[in-house]
Amino acid sequence: MSESSAALLQSRSSSARELIAFAVGKQEFCIDVMAVREIRGWTPATVLPHSQSYVRGVINLRGAVLPIMDLAVRLGFPPAEAMGRHVIIVVQVGSQVVGLLVDAVSDILTVTASEILPPPDVASDMAKHFVCGLLAMEGRMLSILSVDSVLPEREGTEVQ
């Protein structure tokens, strides 16, 4: 597709958002497709010393060092097991590229702002910190995650 047609397509659908849906444990989540760079299978990660429990380690993504966040742990579920069956969603926020470990990826949803419900006012930390909206689709409930919030807090920024 040419640049111009891409731009055209974009402007045409500016009111709609595209979201990638995926499963973590028994729940379904989605994130904005614009943040997603690619999707790939799990490969064993190199453990980072003294890292947060949700940081699985780093893997080689075509020559770049990609940190992997275990989204299950990040969202307060038990850690993921059986790694071969898992999926890494590579997301980019600003200049930072991070892999999110999830159970399975499913479809790409096109939604309009009016379909997105505000997150409920429940006490769970997950809802407060990470979920920025809810989506009801064919009897499914999907939580929309704000990608920025699930990324690790950058460490060592005090050093020049």
Partner 1 sequence: MAGNEMDSLRQIFFQECEEQLAELESGLLEIEGGGEDPEIVNAVFRAVHSIKGGAGAFALDELVRFAHVFETVLDEVRKGRLDPAGAVVEVLLRSADVLADLVRVARDGGSVDAERIRTGTEELASLSGTPVATGDLAEEDSVEDLGFTPVAVAFPTFDDIAAELPTEPEPTVFEYTVTFKPHASLYASANEPAVLLRELGRLGEMTVSCDTSSVPALSEIDPEGSYLAWMIELKTTQSEDDVRAVFEFVDGDCDLTITANNGAAPPVEDADFEALLRSIREAPVDVAAAADEPAIAEAVIADVSVTAPEFPVAVPDFAAKPDSAKSESKPDKAEKGDKSASGEAAQQTIRVDLDRVDRLMNLVGELVINQAMLSQRLGEAGLARSAEFATGLDEFEQLTRDIQEGVMAIRAQPVKSVFQRMPRLVREVAAATHKKVRLVTEGEGTEVDKTVIERLADPLTHMIRNAIDHGLEKPEDRIAAGKREEGLVKLSASHRSGRIVIDIADDGAGINRPRVRAIAEEKGLIPANAQLTDDEVDNLIFLPGFSTASTISDISGRGVGMDVVKRSIQALGGRVSITSRPGHGSTFTLSLPLTLAVLYGMVVTVADQTLVVPLTSIIETLKPKPGDIHGFGGEARVIALRNNFIPLVDVGRELGYRNHSTDPGAGVALLVESDGGAQSALLVDGIQGQRQVVIKSLEANYGRVPGIAAATILGDGRVALIVDVDAVVAGSRNGGNPESVLALAG
Partner 2 sequence: MSKTILTVDDSRTMREMLLLALEDAGYHVLQAEDGIKGLEVLQDKRADVIITDINMPRLDGFGFIEHVRRDTSHRAVPILVLTTESDAEKKSRARSAGATGWIVKPFHPVKLVDAIRRVSG
Site residue total, partner 2 (CB under 8 A): 17
* CA 76/CA 123 separation, integer angstroms: 13
Bridging pattern class, strands 140-145 and 131-137:
antiparallel
Q: Alpha-carbon distance 89 to 35, whole Å?
A: 10
Distances (CA, A) of 60 to 42, 45, 53, 55, 151: 11, 8, 20, 15, 18
Q: Write the secondary structure of 21-88 as one string of H (helix), E (strand) and C (coil).
A: EEEECCEEEEEEHHHEEEEEECCCCECCCCCCCCEEEEEEECCEEEEEEEHHHHCCCCCCCCHHHCEE
Nearer to partner 1, 92 or 146 (CB): 92
- Of 20, 67, 126, 147, the one binding partner 1 (CB under 8 A) is 67
Which residue lies nearer to partner 2 by CB, 38 or 125? 38
Residues 86-105 touching partner 1, rule: CB under 8 A, are 95-98, 103-104
11, 14, 15, 50: which one binds partner 1 (CB under 8 A): 50
Residue of the chain from 15, 49, 121, 138 that contacts partner 1 (CB under 8 A): 49
Rounded to whole angstroms, the Cα distance separating 2 from 34 reads 18
Binding mask 11-30 for partner 2 (x = CB under 8 A): -------x------------
Using CB under 8 A, which of the segments 47-55, 63-71, 100-108, 139-147 binds partner 2? 100-108
Segment interacting with partner 1 (CB under 8 A) among 45-53, 70-78, 108-116, 125-133 = 45-53
Q: Which residues bind partner 2 (CB under 8 A)?
A: 1, 6, 18, 33, 38-41, 62, 85-87, 104-108
